[in-house]
Structure formats: C-alpha cells, structure tokens
C-alpha cells in the first residue's frame, strides 16, 4: 500500500489534538485496576475510542491498535495508540503524561506524534520531515561524557518476570550512580523519548519495548538525530527487547554501562520484556 507520510502526519496531529482537548477539559471519574500494579481510567478508554474512531473515518484502509482495546497487531501498516501514556502520573497529579500515536510498517515507526498537555508541548516527526516541537525543529543534546548527562530509566517491571528484569534495573542504577550526572525515573516512556529528542534529557533506558509505549517516541527521537538502539547497539525496531535512546555524544558510554549492568544478572534476553 502506498502512503503519503505528510498527509498522514497531519491526520495524526488532528487525532491527537482531539484526545488532548478531552484531557484538558475532563477530569478522571473512574480508576480501574489493570494487571499487576497498573491502572486504566475512564479517560483512557474515552480518548482511545474517540481517536480510533477518527482514524477509522479518515484512514479506513489502515488498521488500528490501541493499548486498552487491542486490535490487529499483525497488518503491515497500522496506527498504534497509547491514549494516555503515564496514566498513574495523571492519577497522582504528576504532570508527566500524554497522548502517543504512531504509524508503523509492522517493524518500524513511520511517523510519531506525542502531546504532553500539562507541559503544553506537542512533538511530531517523520522521515524527510524532521522532528518538531510546537513548530520548532528539535535536536538531541550535544553533551559528551556521562558525568554531564541526565539519564532517564523506565519504571521497575511488574508481572511474572519482574524479579529478573528488576534485578537488571537495580544493577543499572548501581552502575550509573557513580558516573552519571543525574538519573531520573519519570514514569512515562513517551515523555522520556520526547525529552531525549529535544535535548532535555541526554539518554533514556527502558528495559522493554511495547509498541504503544515506544513507537511514537522512537520515531521522534530518531528523526531528531538521537541514536535509538537495543541493548546490543543494533538499530531499534519492534523486535527489540529494550529501547535505548541517546544523544550521539553518550551512546557508546551508555551501551557500555548497560553491558556491565547486565553481566551476571538473571535477565533472560530470549524472553519478551515489557
């Protein structure tokens, strides 16, 4: 199927704008348990339903997948939506959350839009169009060396394989503590990746790779000029087990720290992390 990325990016921006208007004008009324120590809200479901309906109307030939409602994840081209990335942040009044929408080819994102309403920032990107925040071009930081770097690490894991993945996360914190400028856990992969793209953060390390969490941010960070890889340094795609986004000046150092942190842990890289 032939696609016009510029046209679809405009549609994605309109779709995300609809969700952001809902986030800005409607309060959470209901919080529902979802899995191990995770929640969804009525707003997650409302925003997902409205955005997917908008996309179905505007792009009926492209399949859609939402975090809350699912969909067909196996078609070559599909929209991937996280209606609220950072739901727990929203519930607790922490202003680090947003709507994340990507178009993928099944392996790599073709475009991405992330809007962070509490920060009043909207990011978008696509190959050939570049990476933008509120109409201004963005680029990763020019920092060189870990002592000056601010690095975000994804949340500790939940679920059956959490002990193994959390052992790696603890080892990673231990390895970074004496050498990194600052380490942060912000609670939203979309926020982490967007902030690497615009140079606010110097690196983001997530020991997992769920499309709805990562695809839009990967598209934006990569188009901005950040390196986006798996732990082994290979280019990131939907089959990667981890999501590492770095400013070019710290890529090698971050990957070496990761190699050190994962040596001797019980992390099974043949398993799917999330």
Domain assignment present for 57: yes
Residues 201 and 237 occupy one common structural domain: yes
**Using alpha carbons only, what angle is made at residue 78 by residues 127 and 222, rounded to the nearest 5 degrees?**
30
Cα 21 from Cα 54, distance rounded (Å):
14
* Domain endpoint, select from 104, 137, 170: 137
Domain assignment present for 271: no
Domain hosting residue 248, numbered range: 146-262
The confidence score (pLDDT) of residue 168 equals 87
Mean pLDDT, the chain, integer:
91
The confidence score (pLDDT) of residue 85 equals 97
Cα 57 from Cα 55, distance rounded (Å):
5
Domain assignment present for 274: no
User: What CATH number does residue 153 fall under?
Assistant: 3.40.190.80
* Domain endpoint, select from 137, 171, 204: 137
Domain assignment present for 270: no
Model confidence band, residue 69 (pLDDT cutoffs 50, 70, 90): confident
Residues 103 and 166 occupy one common structural domain: no
The confidence score (pLDDT) of residue 38 equals 81
For the chain, the domain total comes to 2
Angstrom CA distances, 67 to 20, 64, 87, 180, stand at: 17, 10, 12, 33
pTM value is 0.93
Closest Cα to residue 239, out of 132, 148, 104?
Answer: 104
Cα 169 from Cα 156, distance rounded (Å):
7
Residues 69 and 126 occupy one common structural domain: yes
Residues 17 and 132 occupy one common structural domain: yes
Domain assignment present for 268: no
Model confidence band, residue 265 (pLDDT cutoffs 50, 70, 90): very low
Residues in Cβ contact with 228 at an 8 Å cutoff, skipping those fewer than 6 apart: 218, 221, 222, 235, 236, 243, 244, 245
Model confidence band, residue 1 (pLDDT cutoffs 50, 70, 90): low
pLDDT 10s digits, 117-145: 999 999 999 999 999 999 999 999 999 99
């Amino acid at each position: 199927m032939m696609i016009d990325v510029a046209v679809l990016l405009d549609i994605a921006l309109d779709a995300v704008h609809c969700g952001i208007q809902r986030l800005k004008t409607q309060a959470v009324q209901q919080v529902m348990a979802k899995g191990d120590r995770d929640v969804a809200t009525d707003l997650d479901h409302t925003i997902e339903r409205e955005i997917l309906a908008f996309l179905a109307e505007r792009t009926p030939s492209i399949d859609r997948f939402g975090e809350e409602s699912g969909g067909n994840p196996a078609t070559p081209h599909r929209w991937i939506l996280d209606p609220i990335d950072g739901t727990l942040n929203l519930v607790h009044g922490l202003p680090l959350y947003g709507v994340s929408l990507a178009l993928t080819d099944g392996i790599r994102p073709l475009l991405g839009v992330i809007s962070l309403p509490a920060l009043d920032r909207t990011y978008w990107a696509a190959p050939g169009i570049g990476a933008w925040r509120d109409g201004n071009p963005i680029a990763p930081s020019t920092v060189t060396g870990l002592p000056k770097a601010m690095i975000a690490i994804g949340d500790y894991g939940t679920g059956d394989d959490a002990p193994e993945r959390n052992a790696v996360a603890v080892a990673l914190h231990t390895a970074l503590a004496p050498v990194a400028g600052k380490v942060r856990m912000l609670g939203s992969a979309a926020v982490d990746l967007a902030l690497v793209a615009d140079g606010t953060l110097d690196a983001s390390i997530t020991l997992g790779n769920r499309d709805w969490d990562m695809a839009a941010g990967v598209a934006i960070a990569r188009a901005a000029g950040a390196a986006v890889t798996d732990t082994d340094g290979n280019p990131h795609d939907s089959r990667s087990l981890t999501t590492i986004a770095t400013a070019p000046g710290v890529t090698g150092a971050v990957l070496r720290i990761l190699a050190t942190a994962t040596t001797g842990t019980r992390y099974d890289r043949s398993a799917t992390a999330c």
